[in-house]
Structure 1
């Protein structure tokens, strides 16, 4: 019986490599981009204009806010892989230590959590995407194969007398809260 590991999603067949640890003592498995990707810098004029207006106590209209939010939003970088694990485990997604320092790339939520029931979900086969925000001054080009995050398998604990839910995951991001 397999306990935990990675597989390539059908969409990428033999086009990507499975994650590996860089050294024997590395906790995280390096997750790489499955395709070329451009991550726009958040410091675009629409966002800067809204910051200027707020800073100077000016009115910001709804259209300006919408445009600024589009610039500030995180982007999802496909990895082409999925993870299987035991029911009492999850895959923690984290920044690579060099990404913020060298490229200005961060996970906007600090970490990501891949639950065991995300594997092979009907929405996207359980493909792992890394949410990234580019806070550097210029757009960043991520090439296929570039390491964009790391995944660490972790156990978790539950509370005594937990009410067990019968709901099943049916999709990807945000689907467990429905």
Structure 2
């Protein structure tokens, strides 16, 4: 096994484009959105009400907190793509440099880490999603086929004390290897 990309079965008939490098010396493979969607701005009414209340040390109801929390939750943009790679490699999902600057879009966890055992694991097919948060003033429309992130394959090293006997078998996606 080397490394590469495949379309997940759910999107087999959707004419998706496999990730690609835009220039000859680009390190990252551009990932596109598998569907059209709107990423709402975090500056929505419920979030602002709670922010104001916290600032002024005013009581906030559990319902208001829940509504504000829903506004601040990252959105998952499906790519319809899975990646295969060697066991000693990782695919890093990074933001496109134009997203924060021009659109107010950020990857809230900084980068995404796609492990080799995410591919075709027992709990899912290994579809890659990109977590996005919109800190811009307006909602952002994402078109199907729009470039949303970039993926970079990298080797990684293990510590001398790495205990393979303690390792679990992956069985899912986000957070499947523990809390």
Name the TM tier (shorter chain): over 0.9
Q: How does 1:103-142 map to 2 (within 5 A)?
A: 103-142=103-142
How far apart are the structure 2 equivalents of 1:116 and 1:67? 36
Residue 50 (structure 1) shift: 0.5
CA deviations 1:78-118 (Å, max 9, x no partner) are 00000000101110011000001111111000100000000
How far apart are the structure 2 equivalents of 1:122 and 1:65? 35
Corresponding pairs, count: 177
Residue 161 (structure 1) shift: 2.7
Match of 2:7 in 1: 8
Q: Does 1:170 align with 2:162?
A: no
How far apart are the structure 2 equivalents of 1:30 and 1:108? 19
Match of 2:90 in 1: 90
Stretches of structure 1 lacking an aligned partner (at least 5 in a row): none
Match of 1:51 in 2: 51
Tell me the SS of whatever aligns to 2:151: strand
Residue 169 (structure 1) shift: 0.4
Residue 162 (structure 1) shift: 1.4
Stretches of 4+ aligned residues off by more than 3 angstroms:
none
Tell me the SS of whatever aligns to 1:125: coil
Q: How large is the Cα RMSD of the aligned pairs?
A: 1.1
Larger mean CA deviation between 12-21 and 79-88 belongs to 12-21
Tell me the SS of whatever aligns to 2:58: coil
Query: What is the TM-score when the length of structure 1 is the normalising length?
Result: 0.96
Stretches of structure 2 lacking an aligned partner (at least 5 in a row): none
How far apart are the structure 2 equivalents of 1:121 and 1:40? 31
Query: What is the TM-score when the length of structure 2 is the normalising length?
Result: 0.96
